[in-house]
Amino acid sequence: MPESDASVTPVTFPPAFLWGAATSAYQIEGAVREDGRTPSIWDTFSHTPGKTAGGETGDIAVDHYHRYREDVALMAELGLTAYRFSVSWSRVQPTGRGPAVQRGLDFYRRLVDELLAHGIKPAITLYHWDLPQELEDAGGWPERDTAFRFAEYARIVGEALGDRVEQWITLNEPWCSAFLGYGSGVHAPGRTDPAASLRAAHHLNLAHGLGAAALRSVTPARSAVAVSLNSSVVRTASQDPADLAAGRKIDDLANGVFHGPMLSGAYPETLFAATSSITDWSYVRDADLETIHQPLDALGLNYYTPTLVSAATAKDASDRRADGHGASAYSPWPGADDVAFHHIPGHRTEMGWTIDPSGLHELIMRYTREAPGLPLYVTENGAAYDDKPDPDGQVHDAERIAYLHGHLSAVRRAIADGADVRGYYLWSLMDNFEWAYGYGKRFGAVYVDYATLARTPKSSAHWYGRAARTGVLPPVEG
């Protein structure tokens, strides 16, 4: 039976399993010029003509900065037990250097206190793509100094909130920061330099290691430090050696470039070989890998859809960049021009991503094997659909419920197969600014009317809330 079908046997989760939702600062907060905040790379990028759908920006987003109490009350009403959010670096440290702006930190203090008062466990992501613009002006992630600035910032936030927050995530999806931001240019800062994207990847790794050490130096021993990776489930079109080689190349660029140094203390040698015409990796200095290879307390996995590749042929030229990460004349895969990406058959979300819960099970089991003993969290999983209110003002999103049932069933199956998965964070709590897609893609369990900013829980929010309160997946709606 496919994972998306309701089963006669109830799907029951362990009592301590965390039922969360996730957001990021630039996508929801708004208030971009208040209380000392200065522009991030996403402010600059979204205000650059042609970079986002309709020229839309996160200037107001969904105004969470002013409505956070309402939003936390909604989480509690739904029965969530955890909330993963990110801190805006330029709200806390406007230039990316020097002392903190206490007004910025005060917002996060108030938010954490509100969550705790409602019995919701906060999980902080320190970096969700919004580098202070002044640091980008100084070179951004391709520059080594940015990693040390991140460590300083991590220390500041850890000192301010470590007495109340136990779950910490250094980076969210560093692959996107490096390769969409500096390779294909579809994300901020919009640069298209393959060598810079690889340098950025290394310095993001270094930032993770330095940031993890900084957090541990100022937070209590009970704190858990993790990272969230959007590791790809890479499948090949055939078992032909050329296709398998293409799969290995993409696996190195999608996964090994981060989990290699973070989990094993080494980059894949095959990655060095595949990118040797682009960079000599001389920026990897002595002791960097030891710094990056910090012991983790948990690993966050973000999953949406698998990736299907093959060795490229002439007929694949038009499909070579059909990788689901946005249209660009430039590839986010340095050194992989000989790889073709293929559309996977099956039902799709509004993002054009094929729905395949088996990929989430596969991803969890991979890290169960490769990092035995390391607790896992699904820190992002969800779907965009063209949600609209009914005449009665309610939003019935049966497709999202089926999606969640399928993917949560895959998580439960992984637990039964021996994986130590301790929580699931739905992406996203509510509709918001979806990066270069503007406000056109709705991932939220809560519908946001962008004209009034009124929040309306969708059917999926109520469904997910029942799962959170009972630990049992409700049936899928007909």
Q: How many other CB atoms are there within 10 angstroms of residue 163's CB atom? A: 12
236: nearest Cα among 227, 222, 226, 248: 248
Which residue, 317, 298, 37, 336, is CA-closest to 169? Answer: 298
Tokens of 308: 């299907």
CA distances from 98 to 156, 180, 327, 450 (A): 10, 28, 38, 36
Alpha-helix runs per DSSP H in 219-354 = 241-251, 257-259, 269-274, 288-292
Q: In Å, what is the CA distance from 165 to each residue of 82, 122, 157, 223, 225?
A: 11, 6, 10, 7, 11
Do residues 445 and 386 lie in contact, with contact meaning Cβ atoms separated by under 8 Å? no
Tokens (6 digits) for 34: 């208040």
Tell how strand 446-448 and strand 455-457 pair up: antiparallel
Would you give the DSSP letter of residue 318?
Answer: G
Residues recognised as catalytic:
173, 380
The dihedral over CA atoms of 379, 382, 387, 393, expressed in degrees to the nearest 10, equals: -50
DSSP 8-state class, residue 313: -
CA distance 236 to 248: 9
**Phi and psi at residue 55, to the nearest 5°:** 70, 20
Helices (H), 167-240: 174-175, 194-218
Q: Which residue has the tokens 């709590």?
A: 429
Neighbours of 369 (CB within 10 A): 10
Two tokens at 274?
A: 């595949």
Task: Name the β-bridge partners of 446.
Answer: 430, 457
Alpha helices in 219-328 (DSSP H): 241-251, 257-259, 269-274, 288-292
